[in-house]
A = this chain, B = another copy of it.
């Protein structure tokens, strides 16, 4: 079984069936990472290139570990050592990498749309590992896997996504994926952080965090990403934290069995306090663990099995 597309660019492009396939595949792969011998031969002899134009520990490491546990060969390229410094175009970099017969290119780039463009140029699979403020589909998929693991279902759940929705690729990927799975999505943040077209994405909007979470099943806290904001969307970090940071006191308004996600890395004391991040409702480390399984599933469903040439 494979995904319809050769690429994973966005959750917007996935069908509900595909999302369910990805989650159930990830579920079946999860125990591999719990074994003494954390390795299956499934992707032996496949070449996966991690092409990261933005720095990243967790995402690159997660993809690399997932590749190696599937026995694929993983090659890392980061901007600092890439020929970008020599002024090559992105398309040329990609065509040149493709000529080396990789099976899959995992790409992170600060510009929205880059992986999509690459996917059109290239015959190998392209996985979007985060592009500007557009999408980060593997993150949303691991979030859904984590939610389903905790709640037993996704359909019908009420999910609040809190923070800078406009600039968040994690929010965008989650809104699409959760919507397709039948969850009700609320976005929460100051008006400056809510995109104009949010209605068309099927979300309701809240500006008060306590109002938003009073009856939710899931809260997804977003990272305040200074590095992606040209002009800050709020007067001060202190004010943002006071209004939209999740602390124990605000969390009391939510149902007891609410679960809390965060894509990491967390800014302790900014968007989430330690008592919440490390508390019993937090699934933050489960997300990381499930990230490996989900990336193994993505690789498997994109490049596993015998290749059929079109």
Contacts and interface: CB of A to CB of B under 8 A. Distances in A.
Interface of A: 33-39, 44-47, 49, 52, 55-58, 60-62, 64-65, 68-69, 73, 75, 77-78, 80-89, 92-93, 95-102, 227, 264-268, 285-286, 288-289, 291-292, 306-307
A154 to B, nearest CB: 22
Contacts of A306: 36
A263 to B, nearest CB: 11
Contact of A92 (B77, B86, B266): B266
Contacts of A84: 57
A87 B36 CA distance: 33
Given A75-B65, A83-B265, A101 B33 contact: yes
B44 A39 contact: yes
24 contacts: A36-B306, A38-B46, A39-B73, A47-B69, A49-B61, A55-B85, A56-B83, A57-B81, A57-B84, A57-B96, A60-B81, A61-B97, A62-B100, A65-B73, A80-B81, A83-B264, A86-B227, A87-B267, A96-B285, A96-B288, A99-B285, A99-B288, A99-B289, A100-B288
A12 to B, nearest CB: 26
A45 B64 CA distance: 14
A77 B57 contact: yes
Given A285-B95, A307-B36, A100 B57 contact: no
A39 B103 CA distance: 13
A82 B100 contact: no
Given A62-B100, A69-B73, A86-B227, 10 more contacts: A57-B96, A64-B75, A78-B81, A87-B265, A88-B265, A92-B264, A96-B288, A98-B285, A100-B292, A101-B292
Contacts of A291: 100
A99 to B, nearest CB: 4
Contacts of A44: 37, 39
Nearest to A88: B265
Q: Pick from A44, A55, A307 the residue with the most CB of B within 10 Å.
A: A55
A33 B83 CA distance: 23
B45 A38 contact: yes
A229 B95 CA distance: 28
A102 to B, nearest CB: 8
Nearest to A58: B96
B81 A55 contact: yes
A101 B34 contact: yes
A101 B265 contact: no
A87 B68 CA distance: 28
A64 B98 CA distance: 15
Q: Pick from A64, A96, A98 the residue with the most CB of B within 10 Å.
A: A96
